[in-house]
Amino acid sequence: MKLQTMMMKKMQIEKTNEIVKNRAAKKKNAPLRFDETLVLNQWMLSLFNVGSFEKLAEEYDQ
């Protein structure tokens, strides 16, 4: 009986580890959320010292 219990616990742990691995893989491959893309846009605009893409375009139209 004790051996069965230990085997069951081991199987549960292995299953849990597999679930955690799958979740981590999904998060790694997940696309960026909308608000995360905005942060990247703001950073990119800061490299050109402008606050919007319109201002960036104006500078290059001149």
DSSP SS3 for 30: coil
Supply the range of the domain harboring residue 52: 32-62
Query: Which pLDDT does position 47 carry in this prediction?
Result: 92
Same domain, residue pair 38 and 57? yes
Same domain, residue pair 24 and 36? no
Per-residue model confidence as pLDDT tens digits over 30-57: 777 776 678 888 898 899 998 888 888 8
Mean pLDDT of the chain: 81
| Closest C-alpha to 45, from 36, 57, 33 | 57
Side chain identity at residue 36, one-letter code: E
The total of structural domains in the chain comes to: 2
Residue holding tokens 């990247």?
A: 40
Same domain, residue pair 55 and 44? yes
